[in-house]
Amino acid sequence: MLLTSCAQIPSTSPPITPTLLQTLGTETTHIPSPTSTLRAENHAPITPTFDPISQATPKPDEITPSATVTPGNIRLLKTFDLKGSFFSVSADEEFLALSDFPNSASVYNLSNGELVSEMAIPLASFGSIGKVAFYANDTLLATEFITDVVREARTRGAIYIWDWSAQKVNNIFQVSSDFHSPCYSDDFEISADERFLTILGCDYIEIWDLVTGMPVGAIDRTNVIDIAISKSENLLASARIALGEAPIQIWDLNSCISKCELKFELFNASENPDQWQEAKSVIFSNDGKWVFALINDALRIWDISKEEELLWLNFLPNNHLPVQIAFSPLDIVAILFDDGSIIFYEPDSGKEIGEIHIPGAQKIEFLPNGSRIIIGGGEINLQIWQVARKSQ
């Protein structure tokens, strides 16, 4: 099987060039883009540096979760008079960033819910703010701008970098497209060392250098649904729909300076090669040793430091579909289902910790210390819950 990393970009396609904008009040000053471009010759096919995990790992025992329990170790702490499914909490847990409809993002004090700062994209840019994320010691905020495909049929989505305390745009990274117009991003991630910005664009997973503002690489995003970056090192995980191939691939971001290197794949040789593998969500543990993925409506956990699969957790038949994973550094995994159910598990044993049900929940995220989880959605108020393992 030939494994390819960075896609062969058609020579007729326009190069990816960064756009740098500086916003002052209502006026926007355009700064000339650098002359360097992303060249197709930087993206030759490669082979993995060592054998895929599939050749070394037998299929682990399948586990069926226990019945729903009424937890005494999970309790509601706070409800905000704020709604939204795109939010982020700062590393010091002092601030909450929230995307506001239609084209603004706000930062609130997490302890009292007071508004601290608000950033708005000019109304001339029709669309909405999607994902938000703090970085650079919480001094900068990255926001995803999704273009309105009806009003601006020839424009592209972008990632805005804000100095949120000054309410000023520092940089804008436009999503590239060879085959789609309009084009917008489905997700973005910032590397652990805050050097790389990865954008899940229309045709490629785009790799940008946050320091220079230059594009450094691209990975073919065919059938890719989700991406995640390790918090301990510059590894990128991509989750995709695959037939007879690995649904999870791990890439070395540092290698993208020359060509993106596929480190290894997470795949099990005992699986049916004629069955489609749909990986819809992927995350790393905080130490970067474990990878969690939702594949064909089962929770799969790999220890990539030992190259073995640890857990294969099948959900009960006819259950609602799992849509997102969240991981706590206190060794708790949360699974959000499409009916608003959130079930908590011990990742080492697969035992259920407890369950809560919040109709309308669309996004979950553990706070950095791992003992609390924030839950939100477009039609529900943001909530913070305390979660602990039963043994704690």
State the CATH number of the domain containing residue 208.
2.130.10.10
**Rg, Å, the chain Cα set:** 21
| pLDDT tier for residue 392 given thresholds of 50, 70 and 90 | low
Helix (H, G, I), strand (E, B), or coil: what is residue 347? coil
- pLDDT value, residue 317: 56
Residues 340-350 have pLDDT tens digits of 999 999 998 88
- pLDDT value, residue 158: 85
Output the CA torsion 114→117→123→127 (10° steps): -70
Q: Which structural domain, as residue segments, surrounds residue 382?
A: 58-387
Tell me, yes or no, whether 6 lies in a domain: no
Is the model more confident about 151 or about 376? Answer: 376
Number of folded domains in the chain?
1
Terminal CA-to-CA distance of the chain, rounded, Å?
47
- pLDDT value, residue 111: 93
Task: Give the CA diameter of the chain.
Answer: 61
**How would DSSP label each residue in 78-132?**
EEEEEEES-EEE-TTS-EEEEEETTTEEEEEETTT--EEEEEE--TTS-EEEEEE
Cβ within 8 Å of residue 197, ≥6 positions away: 142, 159, 173, 188, 189, 190, 191, 207, 208, 209, 210
Tell me, yes or no, whether 197 lies in a domain: yes
To the question of pTM greater than 0.75 for the whole model, the response is yes
Tell me, yes or no, whether 40 lies in a domain: no
- Tell me the average pLDDT of the chain: 78
Tell me: pLDDT of 69 over 60. Answer: no
- pLDDT value, residue 48: 30
Average pLDDT over residues 114-133: 82
Average pLDDT over residues 19-27: 30
Strands (E) in 101-230, as ranges, are 104-109, 115-120, 127-135, 140-147, 158-163, 168-174, 187-190, 196-200, 204-209, 215-220, 224-229
Tell me: pLDDT of 336 over 90. Answer: yes
Spatial separation of the C-alpha atoms in residues 305 and 290, rounded to whole Å: 8
Mean pLDDT check: name the lowest of 71-75, 274-278, 346-350: 71-75
Tell me, yes or no, whether 38 lies in a domain: no
- pLDDT value, residue 154: 43
Tell me, yes or no, whether 26 lies in a domain: no
Residues 149-188 have pLDDT tens digits of 544 444 467 899 999 999 999 999 887 755 545 565 678 9
Tell me: pLDDT of 252 over 90. Answer: yes
Residues 288-316 have pLDDT tens digits of 999 999 998 899 999 998 888 998 888 76
Tell me, yes or no, whether 50 lies in a domain: no
Tell me, yes or no, whether 69 lies in a domain: yes
| pLDDT tier for residue 318 given thresholds of 50, 70 and 90 | low
